[in-house]
């Protein structure tokens, strides 16, 4: 019997409320040995207070030493083994903008990038081009790109991101990304991971070739890379597994998409953290579980900007009193992975995690930071167990066995 099957037997309803407050890429590293991380540098009085009343630990998104993408990172937080339940980023992006995938579709997360005259990437995200600049370019691609025997659906997402859905017979989405994760090199060719995906790989290469030709005159977004090339996933619903009616409050489409794929309701169109908390207040009486996503601790980490990540962490902390004023029974602050600004990328380091509940077993922690989490009462644990801990602390799990 796997954990989900066991939970279906043990889950009980009691009206309790659980909040999972996720700072994307929360974990960090010091700029020099013995120094403080971004989280430890930030002034976080509200999280520090909850840390003194709760219990800390470090969550391992996938497995020790594995640096996760945002999809696997969030799946782990939601209690799904990210190795067993593989959801490609393309499906997340497509679902996040409300696109309904059909069986046989291949969904792709595309990034605009900037290349030079030699075809080498100078900026992987096209200068983080503004959405109002990128949307007309995406609309142009949607009108002008045609591929023989395949319907091509192109939709804008946000900033440098857009979605491509390939629809036709014989398509299998098991293809490597074309983003080399580096500058000074050309985009990679699409490489099929199996024989069944070779047709899809060829179509991906043709798509990028047409994009490059059409956008040759653009200064920023003159090419693209393709990521998360995948088919429609199959995953058990959050409510079926945990007995929780769940609400997701996020700004970026990808995180809305992931929440939607596990059966959460997407709430509102908030664009700021204040608006997200407004949305939380508006639906508090209607749901049992609330996923609130804060993106900018990740994007500043990826930009290698230590000071900016500190400021964003302080912004994340500042919203805590409004959440706690609603009197949740369980409050969790964590991230889907670490994004140290020193590395300017996702990393394998355990993610600082705080669990506050009226009946949790407190540890000796007095502040929310990586060092405190290393010695916290939760220990170092796999993220997929966090939901079980949340349910237990909310009084939602019956005893197992006689």
Give the model confidence (pLDDT) of 176-224 as tens digits. Answer: 999 999 999 999 999 999 999 999 999 999 999 999 999 999 989 999 9
Q: What is the pLDDT of residue 318?
A: 98
Q: What is the reported pLDDT for 334? A: 98
- pLDDT score at 1: 66
Which residues belong to CATH 3.40.720.10 in the chain?
13-87+235-393
Sign of the Cα pseudo-torsion (199, 200, 201, 206, in order)? positive
DSSP string, 91-148: HHHHHHTT----TT-EEEEEEEEEE-TTS-EEETTGGG--HHHHHHHHHHHHHH--BT
d(CA 34, CA 195) in angstroms, rounded, equals 50
Strand partners, 45: none
Which pLDDT score is estimated for 153? 97
Compute the distance between CA of residue 126 and CA of residue 103 in angstroms, rounded to an integer.
32
DSSP conformational letter for 286:
G
Please give the pLDDT value at position 370.
98
Residue 88 confidence (pLDDT)? 80
pTM of the complete model: 0.80
* CATH no., domain 13-87+235-393: 3.40.720.10
Sequential pLDDT tens for the chain (402 residues): 688 999 999 999 999 999 999 999 999 999 999 999 999 999 999 999 999 999 999 999 999 999 999 889 999 999 999 999 888 889 888 988 888 888 899 999 999 999 999 999 999 999 999 999 999 999 999 999 999 989 999 999 989 999 999 999 999 999 999 999 999 999 999 999 999 999 999 999 999 999 999 999 998 999 999 999 998 888 899 999 999 999 999 999 889 988 998 999 999 999 999 999 999 999 999 999 999 999 999 999 999 999 999 999 999 999 999 999 999 999 999 999 999 999 999 999 999 999 999 899 999 999 999 999 999 999 999 999 999 999 999 999 999 987
């Amino acid at each position: 019997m796997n954990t989900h099957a066991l939970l279906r037997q043990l889950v009980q309803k009691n009206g309790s409320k659980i909040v999972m407050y996720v700072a994307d890429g929360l974990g960090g590293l010091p700029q020099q040995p013995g120094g403080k991380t971004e989280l430890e540098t930030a002034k976080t009085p509200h999280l520090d207070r909850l840390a003194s009343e709760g219990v800390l630990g470090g969550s391992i998104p996938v497995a020790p030493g594995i640096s996760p993408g945002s999809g696997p990172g969030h799946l782990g937080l939601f209690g799904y083994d990210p190795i067993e339940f593989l959801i490609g980023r393309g499906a997340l992006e497509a679902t996040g903008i409300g696109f309904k995938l059909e069986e046989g579709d291949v969904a792709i997360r595309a990034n605009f990038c900037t290349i030079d005259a030699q075809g080498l990437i100078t900026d992987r995200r096209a200068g983080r081009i503004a959405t109002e600049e990128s949307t007309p370019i995406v609309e142009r691609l949607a009108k002008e790109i045609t591929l023989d025997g395949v319907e091509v659906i192109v939709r804008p997402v946000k900033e440098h991101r857009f979605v491509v859905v390939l629809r036709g017979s014989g398509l299998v989405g098991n293809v490597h990304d074309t983003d080399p994760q580096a500058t000074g090199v050309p985009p990679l060719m699409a490489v099929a991971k199996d024989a069944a995906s070779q047709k899809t790989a060829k179509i991906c290469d043709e798509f990028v070739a047409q994009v490059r030709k059409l956008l040759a005159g653009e200064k920023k977004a003159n090419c693209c890379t393709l990521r998360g090339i995948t088919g429609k996933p199959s995953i058990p619903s959050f409510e079926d597994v945990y007995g929780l009616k769940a609400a997701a409050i996020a700004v970026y489409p990808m995180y809305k998409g992931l929440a939607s794929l596990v059966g959460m309701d997407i709430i509102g169109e908030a664009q700021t953290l204040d608006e997200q908390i407004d949305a939380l207040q508006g639906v508090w009486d209607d749901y049992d579980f609330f996923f609130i996503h804060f993106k900018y601790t990740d994007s500043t980490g990826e930009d290698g900007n230590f000071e900016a990540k500190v400021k964003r962490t302080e912004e994340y902390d500042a919203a805590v009193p409004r959440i706690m004023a609603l009197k949740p029974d369980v409050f969790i602050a964590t991230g889907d992975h670490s994004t140290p600004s020193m590395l300017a990328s996702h990393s394998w380091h355990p993610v600082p995690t705080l669990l506050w509940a009226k009946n949790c077993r407190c540890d000796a922690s007095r502040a929310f930071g990586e060092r405190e989490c290393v010695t916290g009462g939760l220990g170092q644990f796999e993220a997929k167990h966090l939901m079980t801990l949340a349910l237990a602390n909310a009084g939602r799990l019956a005893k197992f066995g006689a």
